[in-house]
Structure 1
Amino acid sequence: MTAKTPSVLALSLTLSLTLNTAGLAHAAGTASPAIYPAKGQSAKQQDKDKYQCYGWARDQTGFDPAQVQTAAAPAPQPPGALARGAMGGAAIASIADHDPADGAAAGALGAAVRGKMKERQAAQQQQQVQAQQKGAYDRAFKACMEGRGYALR
């Protein structure tokens, strides 16, 4: 084995970890609140109030928990990103008197890792926005239900 093999292995491990952890990210969700009819409302009245408060909170916040978007399919890497990475790695390796094939592999792997990291960041940003929107919806729904005489916990 050559001295540069560990760097290619390290990049392979980094890519593997990036791909595995990207699949673990998910939107933070909270359980529905417990609703107690503090003024003795019937189950039928509670259902009616929940439906009306759902619509009001949706209209106030622009967020519909029934229509939560899942993470969109990641955009493919730009054409040639891996090829540019491979060419750059090969060029650097040949300048440094190393095997250009190993440099090309390392460069392509680095480009793939960078692409996956960008996808992960975009998914995390979308999850943060959805969590903020859901928080606003939850506060509006709670305010509506409490205004109708229910206790929410």
Structure 2
Amino acid sequence: MHPLRKNRPLRRIVLASAATVSGLVMLLSLKPHTPATIVAAPAPAQASAPAASGGSDAAGGSPGGATDGSTGTRTVTGDSVQTRWGPVQVRITVGGGRITEVTAVAYPTDNPRDQEINSYALPALRREALTAQSAEIDSVSGATYTSDGYRRSLQSALDRARG
């Protein structure tokens, strides 16, 4: 006869407890997500001579802004926003009063899961920002933290571009 089928409930309780404790120990021994490092994309090449900007900062003294005087475009980098999985930072190009380009310059890439999420989230967030022409964009399902950081960095870049 099988040992668990005997009329000994204490034995079953002890074995069930031991299995539960073993499962919890294995679950808790999993390594947590490691903090992400900042990865910055290379700066886009300027179409014309940067001397046309007069050497002043286009963002009204704020760091992260540049103006191309010949075309009237302005490139501004938003704040780096720390999220649960790492920093998110956005750079925008504004021309003719419209957002013409949005680039994520920093985002979590520490592990394959971050890379997978950002491979679909960042293009979707970029499309949303270009369509909305503001930071009032929808979050991407499965990338809530990245979406929030993207939105906040985008808003700070827009504030600098207007100011």
Q: TM > 0.5 between the two?
A: no
Higher-strand-fraction structure: 2
Normalising by structure 1, we get a TM-score of: 0.32
Normalising by structure 2, we get a TM-score of: 0.30
More contact order relative to length (CA 8 Å, sep ≥ 6): 1
